[in-house]
Chains A and B, each alone.
Chain A
Amino acid sequence: MTIARARGWRYLLRYQLPDFLVSRAGLPVLAAVMIGVMVYYTAGAGIEWQSEDGERLAQQVFSTLIGVVITLGAFMGVAKLTTDDRANGWYRSYFSKPVKRTTFYAKQWALHGVTLVLLVGVLGMAWQLATNSVSVKEAMVVTALTWIMLGGVGFLLSVLTNQDAGLLFIAYVLSMVLHSVKDQRNSPMWGWLREVTRLTLPTQKLEYVKDLLYAGQPIPWGHAGFVIGYGAVAFVIGVILLRRLSLAR
C-alpha cells in the first residue's frame, strides 16, 4: 500500500474546506447576500449607482454588510476549532493516524482565514459589479487583520477551554466597551483599568485601521502591526500549548 506524504493537504482541501464553507462561513455569507439583494432591489431602486449619491450608498451598504460578514465569519471560523474534536472524543480517531496535531489545526486555522478573505473579495466584487466601485481590496485587508486578531485569540481559547466561543465573544465586547470608555476625553476610567484595557483585544486599533483604509488612506502600519502581533502571539502560544497539553478532556 502506498502511503501519501501530502495527506494533510489532501484532507484540508478535500474535507476541511467544504466543512468550513458549509458549516461555518455559509450563514454569514448567505445573510449578507440576501440582505445585499434586498437592498439592491428595494432601497437601491431608482438610484443611479454611477452617480455620487449612488457611489456613497454602494460604499455604505458594502462596508456595513461586509463588516457583519467579517466579524461573524471570524467568530464562526475559529469557534470550537479544537474544542469540538476534543470534547466529543473525535480526536481519538484523527490523532491515532500519523498526523501532527499542531500542523493539522494550524493548517485548518490558516485555511479558514484565507477562505474568509477570499469570500469577502468575491462578495465585494459581486457588489462592485452590481453597483459602483467599492473598497474591496481594503475590505480584504481588514478581514485578514480581523482574522489574525480574533482568530489568534480564539485559537488560544479553544486550546485552553471548552467555553472558547462564549469567552471570545465576551472578550471582544468587553474590549470594545473598555476601549471606547478609555478613549473618551476626560475618561472617568481608573488608572489600573486603563492598564488592563491595554491588554485586551486591540479593537480600537483595528477600527482605526479600517476607517483609514475605507477613507482611501494608506494603511497605518503601527496600528496594523500591533493587531497582527497581538493575534500572532496568541496563536503561537495556542500552538505551543496544543503540542504540550493533553488532548484528552
Chain B
Amino acid sequence: MIALREVSKTYRTLWTRREVRAVEQVSLDVAPGEVVGIAGPNGAGKSTLISILLGFLRPTAGVATIGGLPPQEWVEARGVTYVPELMALPRTWRVGEALRRLAVLDGVTDEAMQGDVDRVIARTEIGDHRRKRLKELSKGNSQRLGLAQALVTPREVVVFDEPTHGLDPVWTARFRDVVADLRAPTRAILIASHNLDELERVCDRVAIIDRGRLQRVVEVRGAGALADAAARVYRLRVAAGGAAVASAFPGARESEPGVFDLPALDLPAVNAGVAAAIAGGALVTSLAPRESALEAEFHAAVGLASAPTSGASGGRP
C-alpha cells in the first residue's frame, strides 16, 4: 500500500547552496495489515520521510506512492490518519473546538459530530480539558489531543510520528492498545519513533534509518523475527559465587559487583554455563538479555554513539 522507491531529499542552504541530504535512496514497502516502524537517531531523516509520505514535501529523487497514487493525490482524495510529533494548531482554539474543526475537515457530518467527538474524548480521557485553550495544555495532553483527532475517522493509512513523545508511562502503554485496535487487514500503519521498546512491542517490522539512509529492516514479529536462540549478550546477576560465574563464562565482564555481562552466546551455551556456575556455588538472582533484539540490531546498524534516547526530539525538515 505504501511504497517508497529510492526516495531522496536534498536541501540546499539559501546563501551557500550547500547540499544537505536529509534522505538518501530509501526504499520501503508497507503492505495492508502491516505495522512498520521507522527507528533512527535525531536528524536521521524519519520526519522528512513522513513529510514526503503525506505529500507535504516532494522528494528530490525517487518515487513515493500510496495505493499507487502520488501521496498528495491519495491524501487529498482519501485522507490519512496522522498523529504528528507535536500537535500544532492555533493556540487560541479550545480542545473541543479543535476536534470539531478537524472532524469537519475529516468529513464527519453534523449528525455524527457530537457522538464521534465524545467517543474520542472519552477514549483519550481529555474530557476535563475540553474547554481549555490549546495553549493551556501540557505536552502530554496536547499529544492525547493529537491522538483524539486522528481517531475520529480511522483511515486505510495510519502514520504516527513520535506518538509517545511527551506521554506519561500509563499513556505510553495505552498507545499499544490504540495500535492494536487500529490493526486491520486493510490498513497499513507506519510508526516513526525513538522508542525502540515501543516499536518492538507493536510493530511487525522496523526500518532502521541513519544519516538519511535505510540501514536495515528488522523483522520483530512473524516467521523471520529475531529468534531468541540467536547469539545475544546476556546480563547475569548473582547474590554470591562470582568466581563460579567467571569460571563458567571465561569471557564474562563484571560490570559491577555481582553483575556479569556474558559474551555473545546462544541459548544452549548460556544455559549450560549458568548450570555450571550454579553447580560451582553461584546464587543466581536474574538472567536477561542485556539489550532487546531490536536494540542490538539498532546498535549494530547505527553504532552505539548514536543510540536513541527515549523521548528525545527528532529533527524536523
Contacts and interface: CB of A to CB of B under 8 A. Distances in A.
A88 B56 contact: no
B86 A98 contact: no
B114 interface: no
The contact size tier of chain B is 35 or more
A45 interface: no
A96 B153 CA distance: 12
Interface string B289-310: 0000000000000000000000
Contacts of B88: 88-90, 92-93
Q: Determine which residue in A90, A98, A101, A245 has the highest number of CB atoms from chain B within 10 A of its CB, and name it.
A: A98
A246 interface: yes
A90 B104 contact: no
Contact of A14 (B80, B104, B109): B104
**A-B complex: 6 closest residue pairs judged by Cβ atoms:** A96-B82, A98-B79, A89-B88, A3-B107, A97-B105, A248-B56
Given A2-B111, A96-B82, A248 B102 contact: no
B79 A97 contact: yes
Contacts of A3: 107-109, 153
Interface in B67-97: 75-82, 84, 86-90
Given A93-B84, A93-B102, A97-B106, A248 B57 contact: yes
A247 interface: yes
Contacts of A14: 104
A101 B112 CA distance: 25
Interface residues of A, number: 28
Contacts of A248: 51, 56-57, 317
A89 B86 contact: yes
B58 A98 contact: no
B107 A98 contact: yes
A94 B93 CA distance: 14
B248 interface: no
A21 to B, nearest CB: 15
Interface of A: 1-5, 7, 10-11, 14-15, 88-101, 245-248
A246 B82 contact: no
Nearest to B159: A96
Contacts of B81: 96
B190 to A, nearest CB: 13
Contacts of A101: 76
Given A7-B105, A10-B104, 17 more contacts: A1-B108, A2-B109, A2-B111, A7-B104, A88-B90, A89-B86, A90-B89, A93-B84, A96-B81, A96-B159, A97-B102, A98-B106, A98-B107, A245-B58, A246-B58, A247-B56, A248-B51
B79 A4 contact: no
Contacts of B79: 96-99
A1 B112 contact: yes
Contact of B76 (A11, A99, A246): A99
Contact of A96 (B54, B86, B101, B116): B54
Q: Determine which residue in A15, A101, A246 has the highest number of CB atoms from chain B within 10 A of its CB, and name it.
A: A246
B105 A4 contact: no
Nearest to B150: A96
A4 B56 contact: no
A15 B107 CA distance: 14
Contacts of B149: 93
15 contacts: A1-B116, A4-B107, A89-B86, A90-B90, A92-B82, A93-B102, A94-B102, A95-B55, A96-B54, A96-B82, A97-B107, A98-B107, A99-B105, A247-B55, A247-B56
Contact of A92 (B56, B58, B90, B106): B56
Contacts of B107: 3-5, 7, 97-98
